[in-house]
């Protein structure tokens, strides 16, 4: 495997750029979009996420977040009882009462998200209208937004896309004649964001904003001088909303692994005319550390076969990382949705002939997985335990969202997510 800094010069083939994508539409096994609240509420420090849903929604969030009962997180569930579902109570009056009580109890809230769920969607509760009504009542102290995290309409990571898209109209206009600025879109852990800020600053890119911002008042400006780099591959609606505000989208691989991070940073450097020598000086040390961290994992994973079920929409960049930087063989790469425009740079780096499946027919995919008998299966929690019982080795795809994986310093930690289950299986076999 060549060092990441050398791979920039050898982008030879088009990989899977024009490859046919197999589309499946059947039974799915994925989390709903409510799950993204778990990382969003940690990032947005003056925001609160109020799910309008059932006790099942509340249990899901509590379990996914691992929040202790005495903690006070920045999310909750307005539980719809039988009277609400049967239309015996005015759901809007009940919601207004819950929101007023919440804001009285939590004066630190500046952004309130009303999050739709399966129950609220089923009874056609118009949360967009409710958000507008409540926004007029509590603005400017509190701004009220809404989006759907319903499992009927969204999967796992689409909740983040909907939440960030709801924020875009709140972003201030850039000043007339403003100098070009860089906007990194997609939720990143604070430690990763700080690392990227330092790298951009060292390159001389001074005007850098991140979406989401820790506080509503800190949302960066956007306009025709804004260049957008996606930190996550699933931000379709967010990217469209930013482009409608005049921003330009930069096409780059995701900052996953040493190579992906270098290419992602290089895209920004090229857009902002950073001299090549300066770019190499800024990134060389981080790329070298990442390469050293990956070396022992490459020894353990090279030649192993991996099957990726659709779950987080991170599957394509993760597949690129596993193949190019760790030497794994890709049996199948499934993803809930494939945004060709956003993933063009990733698809170009996949090996030609890779089997890519958009959507899911879980029974057919399970049959293919069993027939292929891969060394490692990346899948959601709902499939992991049954497959483990059948003797397969699995990795929970949810960890790709709950763990810092972007950037040079996290490359080794990302690789370890895949070596750990294989090491565990080997220990159990002894």
Per the structure block, which two tokens stand in for 103? 């804001």
- Alpha-carbon distance 90 to 84, whole Å? 7
What would the DSSP string read from start to end of 321-363? HHHHTT--EEEEEEES---TTTTHHHHTTSPTT--EEEEE-HH
Whether residue 84 contacts residue 93, with contact meaning beta carbons closer than 8 Å, is answered with no
* Whole-angstrom distance, CA of residue 81 vs CA of residue 34: 19
Give the strand pairing for 226-230 and 181-185: parallel
Q: Is position 118 annotated in a ligand binding site?
A: yes
DSSP-derived pairing of the beta strands 143-148 and 356-360: unpaired
Q: Which two tokens stand for residue 365?
A: 């995919």
Tokens of 22: 């197999």
Distance CA 271, CA 254 (A): 16
- Distance between CA atoms of 336 and 28, rounded to whole angstroms? 9
- Tell me the three state secondary structure of residue 146: strand
DSSP 26-62: S------GGGGHHHHHHH-TTEEEEEEE-HHHHHHHH
CB 404 within 8 A of CB 412: no
Element (H, E) at 210: strand 208-211
Annotation: binding site: 32, 57, 118
Annotation: binding site for [4Fe-4S] cluster: 32, 57, 118
């Amino acid at each position: 495997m060549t060092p990441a800094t050398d791979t920039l010069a050898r982008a030879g083939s088009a990989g899977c750029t024009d490859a046919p994508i197999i589309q499946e539409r059947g039974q799915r096994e994925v989390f709903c979009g409510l799950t993204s609240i778990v990382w969003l509420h940690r990032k947005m420090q003056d925001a609160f996420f109020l799910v309008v849903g059932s006790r099942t929604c509340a249990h899901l969030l509590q379990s996914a977040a691992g929040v202790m009962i005495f903690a006070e997180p920045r999310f909750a569930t307005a539980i719809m009882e039988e009277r609400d579902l049967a239309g015996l109570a005015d759901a809007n009056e009940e919601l207004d009462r819950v929101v007023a009580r919440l804001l009285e109890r939590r004066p630190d809230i500046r952004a309130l998200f009303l999050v739709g769920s399966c129950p609220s969607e089923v009874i056609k509760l118009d949360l967009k209208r409710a958000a507008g009504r409540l926004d007029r009542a509590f603005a400017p102290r509190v701004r009220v937004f809404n989006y759907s995290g319903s499992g009927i309409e969204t999967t796992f990571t689409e909740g983040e896309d909907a939440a960030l898209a709801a924020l875009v109209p709140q972003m201030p206009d850039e000043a007339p004649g403003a100098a070009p600025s860089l906007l990194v879109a997609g939720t990143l852990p604070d430690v990763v964001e700080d690392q990227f800020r330092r790298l951009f600053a060292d390159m001389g890119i001074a005007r850098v904003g991140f979406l989401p911002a820790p506080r509503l008042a800190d949302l960066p400006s956007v306009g025709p001088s804004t260049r957008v780099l996606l930190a996550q591959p699933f931000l379709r609606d967010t990217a469209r909303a930013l482009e409608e505000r005049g921003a330009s989208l930069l096409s780059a691989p995701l900052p996953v692994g040493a190579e992906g991070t270098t290419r992602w940073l290089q895209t920004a450097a090229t857009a902002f005319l950073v001299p090549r020598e300066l770019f190499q000086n800024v990134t060389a040390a981080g790329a070298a550390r990442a390469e050293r961290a990956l070396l022992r994992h490459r020894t353990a994973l090279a030649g192993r076969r991996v099957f990726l079920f659709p779950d987080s929409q991170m599957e394509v960049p993760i597949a690129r990382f596993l193949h190019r930087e760790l030497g794994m063989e890709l049996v199948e790469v499934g993803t809930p949705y494939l945004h060709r425009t956003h993933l063009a740079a990733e698809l170009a780096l996949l090996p030609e002939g890779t089997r890519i499946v958009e959507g899911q027919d879980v029974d057919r995919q399970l049959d293919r997985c069993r027939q292929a008998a891969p060394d490692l299966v990346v899948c959601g929690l709902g499939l992991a335990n049954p497959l483990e019982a059948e003797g397969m080795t699995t990795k929970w795809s949810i960890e790709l969202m709950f763990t810092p994986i972007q950037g040079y310093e996290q490359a080794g930690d990302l690789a370890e997510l895949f070596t750990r289950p294989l090491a565990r299986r080997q220990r159990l076999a002894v």
